[in-house]
Structure 1
Amino acid sequence: MAYYLDKIFLLLFLFTLSTPSKSANMTDIEALFAIKNEIIDPFESLSSWNESVPLCQWRGVVCGTRNQRVIELNLLDHKLAGVLSPFVGNLSFLIRLDVGNNTISGNIPPELGRLTRLRHLYLQNNSFYGEIPVNLSFCSNLVELWAYKNNLVGVLPRELGLLTKLKYFDFSYNKLIGEIPKSYGNFSSLLEMYLLDNDLEGKIPDEFGKLKSLEIFDADFNRLSGRIPSSFYNLTSLKVIDVSFNQLEGTLPRDLGINLPNLECLSISENQFTGSLPYSLFNLTGLAYLYVGKNDLGGRVPRNLFRGIIPSTFSSLKSLQVLDLSQNKLSGMVPKYLEGLALHFLNLSFNDFEGGLPQRGIFENASVDSFVGNSRICGGVPGLKLPNCNFSHSKKMNFKLVTLVILGILGLVVMVCAFFFYRFGRSKRTIPSLDSNLNQLIAMSYQSILKVTNGFSTSNLIGVGSYGYVYKGILETDGKHVAIKVLNLLQYGAIKSFIAECEALRNVRHRNLVKLLTACSCVDYRGNEFKALVYEFMANGSLEDWLHPDNSRPNVQPRRLGFLQRMIIAIDVASAIHYLHNDCQISIVHCDLKPSNILLDNELVAHVGDFGLARFLHLTDEATCRIQTSSSTFKGSIGYIAPEYGMGSEASMQGDVYSFGIVLLEMLTGKRPTDDMFGGDLSLHDFVRNAMPDGALEIVDPLLILEEEEISRERSQIPRFIRRQKMVEGIISLFGVGIVCSMYDSSKRKNMKEVVRELCSIRDSLVGCTI
């Protein structure tokens, strides 16, 4: 009996030891269930949060190894809505909480203040509203606090100054008012502070001079006023100062470049600064971005230097990439040494510069907008269309005259040679027939096509087009992956489409065109006519798949294209169309450009395909353009077809330009031209044009902004505000290209050569700044 009593007492003792642990674990489980009950989860991201799955295997949940308590909750980018339950405060062992990039609304729970172990708090890019809870000041171990892009109101709580371990602080893109609290000067560990795009006012606190570790201070687009504290200019760790678009005043200290040796970016544009740029600024060989436009800067350069506000010492700024001196009172010549700097952007508009512009470096592709408002400048590259500079030196004039005479003679010789070549050489040139082209391509048999597609198995089916089905397969000869378009010959126009595609792709060779490997024209086992086209396989599908993924499949991770990727794809497509229009033996008009006809290989290089509606432009004896059509009536795709085609106009290069413009606008907005919101008097073209330029960020695909924010999270070496500003500039520029290309009046559209040049110029200005 005593033996059994001992066993019972032992079991009771063990039970008492295990009960607290179980109870503690249940606290976390109950808290997470309460959180789930307040969350709207359309894609069932939290389906694993149930009794049949162990707590530490729930999606987004990380447990500690010692006590199995929840230490991390990661719900980033899960497309969640609803509100954040106050029960989150019961996760007392939580170190990291990330609910960023969702659409969660409601107040930020004050109960977060209970999480004294919390070090990382991510609330960004949601719909939280109300005031910032003062209780966050109890999270004494907090290192990161990200709450940008919400709808928070009220003031910045001064109590947050107690968070002395804080390194990253971001309440940008909210609706905050009032002054920046002086207590934030106690953020002794702070590295980066972002307060941009609110409605903050008052002065930058003098106490900020104590932030000895601060590297980035970004408070642009507010209503800050007064002078920047002198102590702030002594923070030697500072790399970025962005206070543009405020109401700040005063002069820049003379020793700025000495006291801030690590400064990489200075942005004070759109304020009320006076005086001149300090001479010491030119000691900053690491300075890459200088925005001082739209102030009242002026004055003369110190005596051992050139007259004017741009001294020769600027040439020492070898890292300078962005220089904005617009809307000041600067004068003198534009220095030629600016040609040799690594500039990607230059704005000298609305000053009083004079004389001839340089023509190399940044000046080669500069826009006239960079120099407008300087009535006494001249010369420059021809595209600027500035007045010619008058040189009095006779030798220069004589040299110019001799040069013009020589060029005139050479031009005449070239014209004569071209005439004889055209007159006598052209008659020997013949346009190859469709039949001969087709015969050269036929190589595969019906049997081989049947075998490669596994008997036209649905498991090999990868797409359905206007005239048939597309299957994937592997060639037996060399193991090459291919895509095979099998035409439905019962569909009207299918045979003409087959012939047109063979003709179009037989002689074209370009890295951005789908490569036609071979063709098959024979009869099947039942004696029916059979035609198929064999292409290189594009592993990443079509641009349509990426822009508009099928979210109905919950287990498939949606794919995303970043801003730079989309721009490079646009350049690929534009290059392909430019080649078809201008560099082929016989110019080709594609006639059906749209995202589903733009295919991406395994490196996301774009290839234009589907030439079933292609037209060929030939030069007749009367030197006019004649269109060879492959069908009696013209068809295109709704939303992408040029408006003049609907009025009976012939296919033209400008029609392709229109389609490209619509595709570019779709890539930037993420909206199809056939979206339900477009109808009546509103089109995708009008939607974008009406929003420009101020509303560009309101209509751009949110995924592009999300990408920039994720880069911020990864601690990119490029300051966040610079990436944002360059991205905005790039978005506006690309929107501009899309708008001009998709003009209703075809005579106002660009040609594809101009489009390629402009897109490449935009790309060059952004590479290294966006990603």
Structure 2
Amino acid sequence: LKFLCLTENFLSGSIPPSLGNVSSLSSIFLGQNRLSGLIPETLSHITKLLELDLSFNSLSGSVPSSIYNMTSLRYFSVGSNTLVGQIPSHIGYSLSNLQLLILGSNRLNGLIPASLANMLNLQILDLSNNSLHGSVPSLGSLANLRELDLGMNLLEAHDWSFLTSLANCTQLTKLSLRGNVLNGSLPISIVNLSRRLEYLSLGPNQISGSIPVEIGNLVNLFSLGMESNFLYGSIPSSIGKLRNLYILNLSKNKLSVRLFADLLFAWSLDFSHNNLTGELPPVLGTYGIGSGLVSLHMEGNRFHGQIPERWHLLVSTRQINLSHNDLSGVVPKFFEQLDKLEQLDLSYNNLEGAVPASGIFTHSAAVVLDGNKGLCSNSPRLALPICPGISGSATKVKHHLSLLVTSLLIVLPPLTIGSLVLIWFMLTIWKKGSFPFSRWDLVSKMFPNRREVHTAPCHDEKKLKRVSYEDIVKATNWFSLVHTISSTCTGSVYVGRFKSDKSLVAIKVFKLNEPGGYDSYLIECEVLRSTRHRNIMRPVTLCSTLDSQNHEFKALIFELMVNGSLEAWLHSEQHNGIPDKVLGFGQRICIAADVASALDYAHNELTPPLIHCDLKPNNVLLDDDMTARLSDFGSAKFLSPGLVIPKSLDDVGGTIGYVAPEYGMGCEISVAGDVYSFGVLLLELLTGKRPTDDMFVDGLSLCKFCESMFPDRVAEILDPHMAHEEHQGCTEAWMQRYIVPLVALGLSCTMESTKDRPGMKDVCAKLSDIRASFLELS
């Protein structure tokens, strides 16, 4: 036995010391379980051990000193436990071959050993969320270091020499020092960090000084956090040149002067609680991809003047807070047209005049206007003075409303008491098990045309973890925009962590008041009940209850796919040529084979077959080892005899470019439609081109483009971003063995006639053979 992986299996108890007798082991993965007790010292007897992962458990005590002397280790992770003790000073010499060291989220204390600088192969170092103190040692000798997380400790900067030394770490993409006591003035050397740096977090740290103008040198920054410090001066205009900067948090500092930076591409901007003056910048966040500013916080400053009319371009913004400033003029009417706006706080300014009456202003809980003495409104929802010139008819309406309220006060109490008694009675019966069916049976009853799906038994409802609305609110920080992964017309997906768990989850909250929202929830539940496959995303549990407003609330909780969607890997502009962000040819074959396996299972092993109906890269998620999982079954259909023939593409629910052409002609839903979508996805994997690319005009499509180059010129259609080391071997034999058969398979799947397309069983078999052949040679 060489490889032992029992990750995420709800294992409890202690790690058996006898495991140390399996001397042939090279890898032990026991993370994300419920293991407790001490780490056995006997594990150090496994002299060939390369990888040891015990993270996300409840292990206690200290790490045995003998394990710190296992020179063979390359990967050592014991993060997110309750371990105590100190990191030995000699660790850099005894574990000099380590590539990954994760000790974060424990109860370690003491100093960070200077000997870490001797781990020349180290790529990831995580010591966050402990009680480490003292100065941060210089780590500039770690040329391969990609991620350094020292956040949430008690560390000091001393002379900041450690930061200067990190300029030698040219592979660094993440640096987190947040939540320490670094103190002192921010050194200019920060601008010399790696140009590959994507994530930089420095707050809160009691750092003083000004933000260097040269911060614009860090051209690949995605997230910059300097909040809750003592920074002063202006915000450099060079920050506006960071075209990849999507999250910027400079809140709770002493920044002053005007805001000159043109941050046109950001998703989340927080300048709150500073001393910024002048007028609001007219073009802030109004240009990015899809006008993408989602969250804007500028409260607690000294801005004056009017709210810029140019802000009508903030069509994607969901949250705006301009409270506690000195703004004047009227509340702009364009706020009514910002359909995605969910929270608007304009309180404690000098705004005046009539407040708009439609859009977000129809939801009093979403708008805060307190402290503006000159505002008025003819809407009773906003609790503002009535605007001058109110008509007599409006007065009559107000009188009738008063009578209606009085009548309701008489009728509602007995109705409410009766309803509560009925609910109590139903819950009592439910808890006693008097109902002969479960919630899954209720779901089944809502699908009258569904036949029974014969498959491996899924989780019994009683074994599903119970999650309340309050749990979800806390996990998502009140459905914070920062926690939002994606949002569609039927639901929003948030990232969060439940208090009782240590692993992150994805929480899909359904918009039940939107068309299709409830049906989407029901079909996802049916997929949960009916399927079990390694390449299909299944919820780990659900939440069906009432929210704080007593509205129906439905949510599904999934394991978080840490590598995101296939769409982001194929088309993200953020990698800028960095190899780690590019899919290699082998990875693309494996992803295609994974998706084919999922569709083969859905089409051929379920009764009746399950049709996905919306296969596209956005709905293919990648887990931590890049295994593909098919997700988002909100548009799926079970191919039962009573299935209604769609009257339009809206009834199918697919996406332009991927949806089968026969659906546009009113043909019935079939497995062939998924086969077509898979063919498009396979060609997109190979070419890197979306089916909606600008080049596809005048009758030219992705399929026709590939067909026109097949077979002699297929080398010309390959994605130029594909990993270069694999292209160096692109001989004619390599093309004929792998590329030509894959393109041919994609073209056969996208044939116009459904009868000419292969079934997913054949497609899956061919892809499995190609993958096996490629992996054998590589």
TM range (shorter): 0.3 to 0.5
Indicate the structure (1 or 2) with the bigger Cα radius of gyration: 1
Q: TM-score, normalised by structure 1?
A: 0.48
Give the number of the structure whose residues are more often helix, by fraction. Answer: 1
Provide the TM-score with structure 2 as the length reference.
Answer: 0.47
